[in-house]
Chain A
Amino acid sequence: MTTTTIAGRQVDVNDEGFLVEPGQWTEDLAAELATLIGLELTDAHWKLIRFLRDDYVTQGETATLRRVSTRTGTPVKELFALFPGKPAKKMAYVSGLPKPKGCV
C-alpha cells in the first residue's frame, strides 16, 4: 500500500492503484481517476458509478459486471463501450472500490 496524491488529495492505493479506503473517494476524485485511465465521464458513466457506490454500502462488496448490468438495466455490450476492455475493473477503479473478486 502506498499513499499518493490525486486531485490534490492524499489517498491510499494498493499496488494496482485501487483505492484502499472507499471512504476517501469523492466525485472530484472519480473524474481524476477516470482521466488516469483515459476516460471522460458522461452521465451514463455517472449513473453506473453511483449505482456501484450505493450497492457497495448495502452489499459490502463490489458489484460484479452481471450485477451492474442486471440492476441498472444496462446491456453488457454498453458497459464495454463505456469502460473499454475491462469494464468490471475500470468501474471499480473509478468508483474507488476494491477490484471485484473474480469469484471463487
Chain B
Amino acid sequence: MITTARDLVVLGAGTAGTMVVNKLHRALPATDWTITVVDRDDIHDYQPGYLFLPFRRTGPEQVRRHKRPLIAEGVRMVQAEVDRVDPAARVVHLGDGRHLAYDELVIATGTSPRPEQVPGTLGPQWHREVGEFYTYEGALALREQLDRFSGGRLVVHITELPIKCPVAPLEFTFLADDFLTRRGLRDRTELVFVTPLDGAFTKPVASRALGDLLEEKGIIVEPDFMVERIDQERQVLVSYDEREVAYDQLVTIPLNMGADFVARSGLGDELNYVAVDKHTMRSTEHPQIWALGDAGNLPTSKAGSVAHFSVDVFVDNFLEHAAGRPMTHSFDGHANCFVESGHGKALLLDFNYDTEPLTGHFPIPRVGPMTLLGESRANHLGKLAFRHVYWNALLPGRPLGLRAQMSMAGKNPA
C-alpha cells in the first residue's frame, strides 16, 4: 500500500500554535503527517510579562525569545505574512506569492490591539500621555512615562470587550496603586478605572470581589463608558453619550481584533474571530479548519490558560480524528487566571462556560497552596513562577499535571 503524508498547516507560532505543533509532532507519525507552521516574524514574547514591564518588575530580556528554538525540529517553519485562506481549494496563499496546500488547517493567529480604531488615539501623544501595555514597545514606552509621572490623574481605560487577558487592566490598576504608594505619589494621584462594563469584571461573582478591592484601594470606577474618541489636546476621553474623563496619563486598552486575513478569507465575525464549535474548536463552516487560542470565538476568556487547556483537548481529539475515529473529548471553557492585586499579593480565578469563578484552593483540594478568589502571597509567587513554566514546559508541550477539564474538588460554589 502506498500512502502519502497528509499536510497539517498551522498559522501562527504564538502560545497556541507553538504548543500544538510541538504536541502533534510528538504524537503523530512523521510518515503520515507533514507539519508546517507559518508566522510573520521570529519573535515570541511572553505576553503576561508586558504587565510588569512598565513598573520595572521584569526586564525586557525576560519576556522575549526567538521562535525557532521553541519549535520542535522536524516541524517546517515558514516566515511569511498570510494573504488569505481558500477553504474550497484548501490552500493558504502567503503574502510573498507562495502557497501551501493543506488537509487540515489550524488558525492560531491570535488577536491584537488596534489603536487606529478609536479616533484621536494615534496622535502626537501616542505612547506618551496616551500609553498602552499590550505590546512590547508600548509597555517599554509606558515605563518611561511612569518614571516621569509626578501625580495627577492616571486613567486606565478599556475600549471594548473582548480583550486578551481581560483581568490585565485591573491588574495594571492594582500594580499602579502599589507603584505610586512606594514612590510617595499615591496621595497626589487620582487613579481611575474606565470600563464599558457595568462593573469591575465580566463575571458577577468575580466582579463583586474585584470591585471591593478597587474600592478598598480608593480607585475611582467610571462604568458603562463607551469611548468615541480621545482628545489629546484637551487630555480627555469622550464617550458616545458625551461624557468626558480627563487624564494626565492615560493607559488605554485598544479594541482587540483577530488577524485581517481571517476577514479577507471570509472566515471571521465582525471582530475577525473564526466561528468555532465551543467544545471542539472546529470551524462551524469548514470541517478541515480549526481555530485555537485567541483566534476563535469561544465564549470564554482570551487567555493563555484557555489556549493551554483547549489545545490539550484539541490534540486528543485530533489524534482520534486523524485515525478516522470519532472525537470523544470536549472543551468546557476552563480558564485559570492569576490577578495581581499589588503589594505582593494576587487572586486566582478559575471558571468555565457554566461555572462562575469559585472560592477554595488550587491545584490540590483543601490544601492549595493557592487560594481561589482571595488575595494571597502564594498566588503572587505562583504567577511569578509561571514564566519559567511557560518557556520550559508549556511551549514545548510537556504535561503540566493540570487537567484541562475543570474540577470542582476543593472548591466552594459561590
Q: Which residues of A contact B (CB under 8 A)?
A: 61, 65-67, 70-71, 76-77, 79-80, 84-86, 101-104
Contact = CB atoms under 8 A, between A and B. Distances in A.
Contacts of A102: 161, 196-198, 202
Interface in B18-56: none
Interface string B87-102: 0000000000000000
B301 A104 contact: yes
B270 A67 contact: yes
Given A76-B228, A101-B202, A104-B301, 18 more contacts: A65-B226, A66-B270, A67-B270, A76-B226, A76-B240, A79-B240, A80-B226, A80-B240, A85-B224, A85-B241, A102-B196, A103-B162, A103-B166, A104-B166, A104-B203, A104-B299, A104-B300, A104-B335
Interface in B199-222: 202-203
Interface in B376-397: none
B327 interface: no
B228 A77 contact: yes
Given A76-B240, A102-B198, A86 B269 contact: no
Nearest to B269: A67
Interface residues of B, number: 21
Interface string B333-372: 0010000000000000000000000000000000000000
A36 B300 CA distance: 33
A20 B55 CA distance: 46
Dominant secondary structure of chain B at its interface with chain A: loop
A77 B240 contact: yes
Contacts of B271: 66
Given A66-B271, A67-B270, A71-B270, A103 B161 contact: yes
Contacts of B162: 103-104
Contacts of B269: 67
A84 B241 contact: yes
A84 B226 CA distance: 12
8 contacts: A71-B270, A80-B241, A85-B224, A101-B202, A101-B299, A102-B197, A103-B161, A104-B300
B83 interface: no
A103 B202 contact: yes
Interface string B52-70: 0000000000000000000
Contact of B202 (A71, A84, A86, A104): A104
Contacts of B335: 104
B277 interface: no
Contact of A70 (B202, B226, B270): B270
A17 to B, nearest CB: 15
Contacts of B198: 102
Contacts of B228: 76-77
A24 B402 CA distance: 44
A60 B202 CA distance: 19
B301 A86 contact: no
Nearest to A61: B299
Interface string B228-260: 100000000000110000000000000000000
A47 to B, nearest CB: 18
A87 to B, nearest CB: 8
B104 interface: no
A61 to B, nearest CB: 8
Closest 8 CB pairs between A and B?
A103-B161, A70-B270, A103-B162, A80-B240, A102-B202, A102-B197, A104-B301, A67-B270
Nearest to A86: B224
Contacts of B202: 101-104
Contacts of A66: 160, 270-271
Nearest to B163: A103
Most buried by B among A76, A79, A104: A104
